[in-house]
Structure 1
Amino acid sequence: MPQSATFIDEWVFDRKHDLEILWLRGIAYILVLPAISKKLQMIFVVNENLTSQPRMKKYLPTASLLRLLFFYLVFQSAPAFSQEGPASSHSSLAEKVYLQLDNKVYTTDQTIWFKAIVANAALHTPSQISGVLYAELIDESKNIVERKLIKIEKGIADGFFQLSPAYAHGIYQVRAYTEWNKNFGTAFFFQEYILVSGAQKEAPYNAIKRLTIMEGQRNERRLNVQLDPSLSDSISGKAIRFV
């Protein structure tokens, strides 16, 4: 059965349950109506023109009054069906999505790794509703620069975003949700912000400042090398590039 059909069936069942409670309240009110009726029948009007002794001129329309009272008390306690939709009254059926990122700050040459947990909003147990997680990387202009569809197994999913030097530096939003959660708005979407900056370029390691070849007598050649004092103490174990 499609998930939407199941959702509607559950909503109809709850509406029937609300109506049962409503009529039970009505029965309770009916049980107390005789006592109210007895009180109302004691009301009378004094006819001052005929005699000084009070007598019953007419009874109040107790039947009509009791009907109005009954329906007022019953429907006053009825839920406002027109103001309550399936999504708001069934938020407990939604899924909560949480992403654990491996960092908060990245450079454009790095990878964003994350683990996702998809749980039932009410029970906080692994959700069995959705099988696919949507994960999105959104830039400051609210453009989706990358989107992933990740398989969910027993409420767990793993994924990553591969950053690129072409990405602009700035604040990015990581957003994740399931197709099922679209029924409940964005309140149950996961959203977190990260900082993406440019990759740091390593300066070439060159301890040699000047290299010359000197020719001496008898066709002898000598190599004259000038080293950078700030780097000469840390040459050991590193390759030296000749220029």
Structure 2
Amino acid sequence: MAIKIAAQDLSHSTEKVYIQTNKQHYALGDTIWMKAYVTSGALNKLSPLSEAVYIELIDQKDFIQKSIKLHLINGTAAGDFALDEDCDEGMYRIRAYTQLMRNRDAVFFFDKTFNVSNTKFKETKAKLSLTSSGSALKANIHYDDPTKSSLQNVLVKYMVYSNREAVVNGKGKIDDKGDFVIEIKRSDKVDLNNAYIETYYSLNGNVEVIKSFPLSGFWDNNHLGISVLNDNSIDNGESNIIVEALARNGKHTKAEGKIISENGQVITPFQTSDLGLDFPKIDLKQQNVYRAEAKFLDGTEAVYPFPKISSNKFNLTVSDTLGKLSISINTVDKAFKENGKFKISINSGGKICYSNDVRLVDGNFNINLNVQDFPMGVANV
């Protein structure tokens, strides 16, 4: 079950930082001009809580190359980083936070990855294209040298980084068309949404040329996510469903389709908006098996399994009232009333914030938790 937790008062608000930069990609010798915005509260208004924001420039080895502390005026500040001779070509990150955020959860830190190219070798261009098979991702890198220097048979070494750790490495030679192919197997367990490839080669013993290629945003296929928000109402009325459509680039997209029972009956159609979301209500039966058939904006079609419907005859109720997160479990099922054991877990921001084993007393369990103990956002119980 999902519930939105809002900040109850300013003293317990969680701050968030956003950094606006003047460009998406940079070259050595450029200056990164930045403007920082610090917000707080459920409405993300400019925060009056912190007096300073801390911004760091981090290289691909996770080393802090530069850092700056900026004074906030009405929640905003401006500053810059110079990409001078101390910096190398490659993938960099800008990380930003306030002191208040450091005392809480790093999940709200601003963290952006971008590429810095080598100005000494602007004449050597490289382009990445990706194709996917059932068991591997093929990364084809095409090198183009306008100076007409032959790149054929030039030895290339490469590293694949995932979540800032090197997970795949190897070497090979550029072919007669200027192409170099890297194969990333599914068994390599590379998180494509937070990964990049770095290649190295040298010509005639000159300085090594380094090229970096982000993999973030590449998906094997379109994706349809289905969530049942209140399966406690199964066999007793309508259930709220969330249908979420994602394109190959990881962004939300339009999709249309239908939810079908195991006997082929169409339970309900759905059509996501530009935001990739739809919220149908349907009458689910726990003994049935369901599937979703979807057609995406690019014309591709696919079938997705429906989440397994719980057969447990109990009700889970969650509410956020007056600063308290109230959780109630109750049942009229005799077996559960006599020996009803549950584990309650609350997940927010990809982390488990609360976990506890509980037992029903005469078919009931109730607990009240302080909302301020959880990060602002959506929590799943």
TM-score, length-normalised on structure 1? 0.44
Q: RCO higher in 1 or 2 (8 Å CA, sep ≥ 6)?
A: 1
